[in-house]
């Protein structure tokens, strides 16, 4: 365990909080505390922002080569501390250790590598006649990240912010803060100049709100729920700062009539349950042709019952516990709502799996005969719960898919790629995935509607942290 769990990282050093406000970090597999962190206050935020503001005066003028060298050193240290990151994530959020290694910890490394590659190719200046259009760092940025993909979201913000020449204050989720502390140690060892990166732990209503409203913060990048995102935007409005948001989702997965139903449904169930269903872009609404609905339910039941639920320390575990008692209660209530509203319970249900009475474990759950308007069809559940909806025509499937306040992602399965592409173009979402492709770290990630604004990953993320300046007559 890191010796710095109760400290913050400010101005190049691990420091004590201004006020002692300890908070236990709960292991969701045992329901007991395994570490103690600290909750920050306005005073801690002010100190961190002041350090970032002072550092920005010079860091904004560092060369591209200097910042590239910093990112490359960060990658070297990250690779050395890779297992520490994986172990921290597995413990703090209940991620199965195999997944913590090959997905959670890898996400941080993968995004850093992609940012480095995109940064090398990025041109900051463009000549348009006598005008030079240049891209400059937006300034001091506040970064607020969630518990479900800790290092994925930390690196999606920190790496492009450094590449852009910004300085920053990070607030990781107070539910899963240990991996953030380990990351701060990585930053320190990599030799990132003091004040460029700062970390203050705490809650959203306190530290998050203080960052969003702070007059010396130029931009806030937030990932989390749509409800919390509206609070961030509201707090940021008075100072007219830029706000980038990656928020909730209720992603549709359209299985077209010509799709291989066994493959499409089985992979769809597994994709929905991935990360214990705790992903904002999970394909949680599966739309299948009405005439094959019963067949789809049988396939989904078989797939759900094959999923291995167990302790995060077991290398064979595919689904671990949910992150907290609050999340467990929410998922249980929504499973019960599905039953009460008349959907067909195909697999799973309320309660914990047999033999897993301790820990925030849930049964991998599938509902069939789901109708548009049911709570399980409308609300983001954030657990391993799949809603299968029958449709009569492709036009109806597209209409149902788009009938949501969210627009983060959507999925299309079909053998006729021309038809799949046509359907993809009709879907109102920021990311469309055709036939379960490999993860692309260079594709843009972000949402339409109440799923947010702005884009992350590679050069798209870099652009979010840049201002555009036009220097007219510069090239005359």
Full pLDDT tens readout for the chain, 476 residues: 688 999 999 999 999 999 999 999 999 999 999 999 999 999 999 999 999 999 999 999 999 999 999 999 999 999 999 999 999 999 999 999 999 999 999 999 999 999 999 999 999 999 999 999 999 999 999 999 999 999 999 999 999 999 999 999 999 999 999 999 999 999 999 999 999 999 999 999 999 999 999 999 999 999 999 999 999 999 999 999 999 999 999 999 999 999 999 999 999 999 999 999 999 999 999 999 999 999 999 999 999 999 999 999 999 999 999 999 999 999 999 999 999 999 999 999 999 999 999 999 999 999 999 999 999 999 999 999 999 999 999 999 999 999 999 999 999 999 999 999 999 999 999 999 999 999 999 999 999 999 999 999 999 999 999 999 999 999 87
- Can you list the pairs that 339-344 forms with residues at least 24 positions away whose Cβ atoms lie under 8 Å? 341/374, 341/375, 341/376, 342/369, 343/367, 343/368, 343/369, 343/370, 343/371, 343/374, 343/376, 343/387, 344/297, 344/368, 344/369
* Geometric angle at alpha carbon 228, from 203 and 235, rounded to 5°: 85
Distance CA 257, CA 130 (A): 55
Q: Which domains occur in the chain, in start order?
A: 8-247+451-471 (3.40.605.10), 252-441 (3.40.309.10)
Predicted confidence at residue 475, as pLDDT, reads 84
Contacts of 203 (CB under 8 A, 6+ apart): 39, 174
Predicted confidence at residue 2, as pLDDT, reads 82
Copy the structure tokens of residue 409: 């992602």
Predicted confidence at residue 476, as pLDDT, reads 75
Catalytic residue numbers, as ranges: 246, 280
Predicted confidence at residue 74, as pLDDT, reads 98
Distance CA 233, CA 242 (A): 9
């Amino acid at each position: 365990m890191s010796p710095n769990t109760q400290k913050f990282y400010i101005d190049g050093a691990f420091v004590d909080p201004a006020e002692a406000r300890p908070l236990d970090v709960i292991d969701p597999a045992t329901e007991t505390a395994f570490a103690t962190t600290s909750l920050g206050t306005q005073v801690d935020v002010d100190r961190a922002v002041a350090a970032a503001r002072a550092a920005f005066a010079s860091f904004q003028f560092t060369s591209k080569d200097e910042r590239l060298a910093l990112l490359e050193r960060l990658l070297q240290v990250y690779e050395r501390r890779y297992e520490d990151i994986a172990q921290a994530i597995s413990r703090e959020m209940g991620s199965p250790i195999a997944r913590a290694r090959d997905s959670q910890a890898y996400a941080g490394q993968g995004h850093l590598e992609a940012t480095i590659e995109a940064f090398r190719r990025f041109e900051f200046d463009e000549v348009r006649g006598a005008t030079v259009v240049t891209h400059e760092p937006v300034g001091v940025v506040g970064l607020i990240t969630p518990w479900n993909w800790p290092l994925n979201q930390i690196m999606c913000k920190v790496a492009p912010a450094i590449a852009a020449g910004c300085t920053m204050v990070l607030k990781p989720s107070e539910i899963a803060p240990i991996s953030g502390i380990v990351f701060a140690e990585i930053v320190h060892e990599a030799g990132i100049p003091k004040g460029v990166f700062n970390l203050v732990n705490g809650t959203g209503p306190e530290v998050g709100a203080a960052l969003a409203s702070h007059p010396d913060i130029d931009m806030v990048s937030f990932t989390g729920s749509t409800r919390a995102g509206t609070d961030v935007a509201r707090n940021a409005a008075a100072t007219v700062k830029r706000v980038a948001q990656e928020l909730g989702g209720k992603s549709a997965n359209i299985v077209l009539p010509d799709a291989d139903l066994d493959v499409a449904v089985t992979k769809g169930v597994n994709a929905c349950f991935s990360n214990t269903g705790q992903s904002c872009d999970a394909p949680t609404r599966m739309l299948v042709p009405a005439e094959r609905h019963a067949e789809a339910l049988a396939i989904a039941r078989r797939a759900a019952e094959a999923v291995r639920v167990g302790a995060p320390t077991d290398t064979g575990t595919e689904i671990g516990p949910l992150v907290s008692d609050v999340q467990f209660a929410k998922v249980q209530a929504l499973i019960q709502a599905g039953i009460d509203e008349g959907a067909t319970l195909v697999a799973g249900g309320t309660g914990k799996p047999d033999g897993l009475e301790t820990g925030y474990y849930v049964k991998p759950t599938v509902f069939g005969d789901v109708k548009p308007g049911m709570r399980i069809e409308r609300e983001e559940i954030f657990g391993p719960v799949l809603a299968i909806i029958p449709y009569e025509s492709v036009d109806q499937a597209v209409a149902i898919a788009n009938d949501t306040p969210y627009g983060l992602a959507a999925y299309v399965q079909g053998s006729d790629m021309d038809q799949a592409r046509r359907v993809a173009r009709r879907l109102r979402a920021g990311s469309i995935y055709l036939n379960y492709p490999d993860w692309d770290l260079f594709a843009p990630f972000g949402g339409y509607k109440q799923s947010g604004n702005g884009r992350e990953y590679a050069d798209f993320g870099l652009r979010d942290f840049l201002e555009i300046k036009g220097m007219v007559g510069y090239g005359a």
